[in-house]
Amino acid sequence: IVRPFNEIPGLWKNGLANLYNFWKLDGFRNLHRIMLQNFNTFGPIYREKIGYYESVNIINPEDAAILFKAEGHYPKRLKVEAWTSYRDNRNRKYGVLLKNGEDWRSNRVILNKEVISLKMLENFVPLLDDVGQDFVARIHKKIERSGQNKWTADLSQELFKYALESVSSVLYGERLGLMLDYIDPEAQRFIDCITLMFKTTSPMLYIPPTLLRKIGAKVWRDHEEAWDGIFNQADRCIQNIYRQLRQETGTSNKYPGVLASLLMLDKLSIEDIKASVTELMAGGVDTTSITLLWTLYELAKHPNLQEELRAEVAAARAESNGDMQEMLKRIPLVKGALKETLRLHPVAVSLQRYIAEDIIIQNYHIPAGTLVQLGLFAMGRDPKVFFRPEQYQPSRWLRTESHYFRSLGFGFGPRQCLGRRIAETEMQIFLIHMLENFRVEKQRHVEVQSTFELILLPEKPIILTLKPL
Ligand code: HEM
Ligand code: 2DC
């Protein structure tokens, strides 16, 4: 017999009291740990209301399958009101990230061909390979200048620049020059604005931004300023390409980048193109850079694994005569390492959908329209889902261990991450070049946890040492 919605365990009766307790637990930064704890207390399904944010939470891959089968024709995620409010106030269009319904679908179908189709990889790979080579050259220079034949640092700023340079070269078909010694201060400001934008979003998941705006709260003002910085810089890059395109007469065979391709295709309005390209540029910085930082950290913790990966890369290089696209087909363990990083250190703490139809999960009835969240961080660490989840084991993704609804770091289905192919390729190329050039080491006995600033970030700086091979 199916139990009713109202009998799902959890704290969902008093949103304000729950918000107060959440705030006392420093929940704005501990969301992932609180979710983990809730699954321990209530079991594999619980209902929750914090402030005005209400959801049903699940953890099992089999239940995730039920959730995604009910996502409907127009899958819809949690509405991040801080992001929509900003655009509403500034009269800016939503891009694919924030659109819904038919408007989302028609834009997404066109963007898919230019951004996430496998066919585009042959265009992206040479651009990303160049950035990877320049990054390695930059690190060699740092090592030389240190005079110690090694370089010890918090690599996050370097990785932000690598990520922005990579995604920009794909979007605009040209380089920003972030691998040089002196970089455009506007580009640095763009990077800082993205971090601030994410950080100021998380409290506004629970407290309506319109309210915070009315009372002139600092968090809203900072948020607005961060998006202003992001849009201004993206506008400058977009205008620049737009101008070049109008002046150009001859046709060259060179791949012109995602933006120019979309403009020439002429299937989306210029305003729609601008909105989505801005989101792609902003979405392409902290996500991949932090995932790479966590991967280097894990490789530093596991020197034998690091050597195994290096051997795989060397063999792939030899077999493919240095052709990068061929190489990418021969590095299953490197790809497993990236999956393993996203299992233990996912960018997104959860995946969510407003379900399009009634479903039954764990024998509870859940009505259509409910926000259902899959706890991705919690699932990645659940011993019922992953054998010895605390161990970083890239090879688990090569073995017969079930992968069914377990590799969800980029989301699922037609609403999954649009930047996925760019992100994966950029990260694989990065690891290839790093493994071919440096040994990564860390100080002993330093464990780093995650903190929630809308995306999950390392709670303190990760200090690594790079030594030339
Ligand atoms: C959406 C993860 C990198 C742009 C998403 C979602 C996740 C995600 C979980 C939600 C998917 C869903 O609801 O099913 C990641 C991870 C990344 C990454 C783990 C890197 C390690 C990127 C990059 C870009 C990007 C590099 C841009 C080039 C987007 C956009 C969406 C999205 C535009 C919204 C798509 C839509 O609503 O149709 N990402 N992402 N992401 N991501 Fe990423
Ligand atoms: C954060 O409870 C926790 O890819 C919330 O590149 C639920 C939630 C909703 C939407 C998620 C968000 C979480 C984490 C960050 C995500 C976002 C959707 C897209 C975004 C996963 C899980 C991200 C990082 C995009 C951001 C692009 C943007 C800055 C232009």
Q: Which residues pair with 458 in a beta bridge?
A: 450
Element (H, E) at 237: helix 218-247
Write down the pLDDT at residue 250: 65
361 Cα–ligand 2 center, Å: 25
Kindly list the distances between the CA atom of residue 208 and the CA atoms of 52, 53, 84, 211, 438, in Å, as whole numbers in the listed order: 8, 10, 12, 5, 47
- How far apart (Å, rounded) are the C-alpha atoms in residues 237 and 239? 6
Token pair for 301: 């913790």
455 Cα–ligand 2 center, Å: 7
Token pair for 124: 């992206």
Compute and round to an integer the Cα radius of gyration of the chain.
22
Amino acid in the structure at residue 146: S
Backbone angles phi, psi at 138, to 5 degrees: -65, -40
Write down the pLDDT at residue 425: 98
Q: Name the closest-CA residue to atom 25, ligand 1.
A: 419
Backbone angles phi, psi at 155, to 5 degrees: -85, 0
Q: Name the closest-CA residue to atom 10, ligand 2.
A: 78
Token pair for 25: 């637990």
Q: Which residues pair with 372 in a beta bridge?
A: 56, 353
259: three-class secondary structure by DSSP: helix
Q: Is the dihedral of CA 162, 168, 171, 173 positive or negative?
A: negative
DSSP 386-430: SSSTTS--GGGGTSSS--TTT--TT--GGGS-TTHHHHHHHHHHH
* CA atoms in the 13 A half-sphere facing the CB of 138: 19
pLDDT tens-place values along the chain, 469 residues long:
899 999 999 988 888 888 888 887 787 899 999 999 999 999 999 999 988 889 999 999 999 999 999 999 999 999 999 999 999 999 999 999 999 999 999 999 999 999 999 999 999 999 999 999 999 999 999 999 999 999 999 999 999 999 999 999 999 999 999 999 999 999 999 999 999 999 999 999 988 999 999 999 999 999 999 999 999 999 999 999 999 988 876 677 889 999 999 999 999 999 999 999 999 999 999 999 999 999 999 999 999 999 999 999 999 999 999 899 999 999 999 999 999 999 999 999 999 999 999 999 999 999 999 999 999 999 999 999 999 999 999 999 998 788 999 999 999 999 999 999 999 999 999 999 999 999 999 988 889 999 999 999 999 999 999 999 9
280 Cα–ligand 2 center, Å: 12
Contacting residues for 194 by C-beta, under 8 A, at least 6 apart: 226, 230, 282, 285, 286
Closest ligand 1 atom to the C-alpha of 284? Answer: 26
Q: Name the closest-CA residue to atom 43, ligand 1.
A: 417
- How far apart (Å, rounded) are the C-alpha atoms in residues 458 and 450? 5
410 Cα–ligand 1 center, Å: 6
DSSP 148-197: SS-EEEE-HHHHHHHHHHHHHHHHHSS---TTSSS--HHHHHHHHHHHHH
Using most ligand atoms within 8 A of CB, pick from 291, 410, 415, 416 the residue to mutate for ligand 1: 410
Pairing state of beta strands 463-468 and 450-453? Answer: unpaired
- How far apart (Å, rounded) are the C-alpha atoms in residues 71 and 357? 8
Contacting residues for 329 by C-beta, under 8 A, at least 6 apart: 320
Q: Name the closest-CA residue to atom 6, ligand 1.
A: 417
Q: Which residue has the tokens 């420093």?
A: 26
Amino acid in the structure at residue 108: R
417 Cα–ligand 2 center, Å: 10
Taking the CA of 199 as reference, the closest ligand is: 2
Best CA proximity match to 370, nearest among 2, 12, 1: 12
* CA atoms in the 13 A half-sphere facing the CB of 21: 11
294 Cα–ligand 1 center, Å: 18
Residues with CB under 6 A from ligand 2: 77-78, 80, 97, 205, 279, 282-283, 287, 347-350, 352, 417, 454-455
Token pair for 236: 């400058």
- How far apart (Å, rounded) are the C-alpha atoms in residues 164 and 283? 10
279 Cα–ligand 1 center, Å: 10
Closest ligand 2 atom to the C-alpha of 201? Answer: 1
348 Cα–ligand 2 center, Å: 6
Give the DSSP letter of residue 202: G
Return left, alpha or beta for 363; rule: phi > 0 is left, psi -120 to 50 is alpha, else beta.
left
Closest ligand 1 atom to the C-alpha of 75? Answer: 13
Closest ligand 1 atom to the C-alpha of 376? Answer: 9
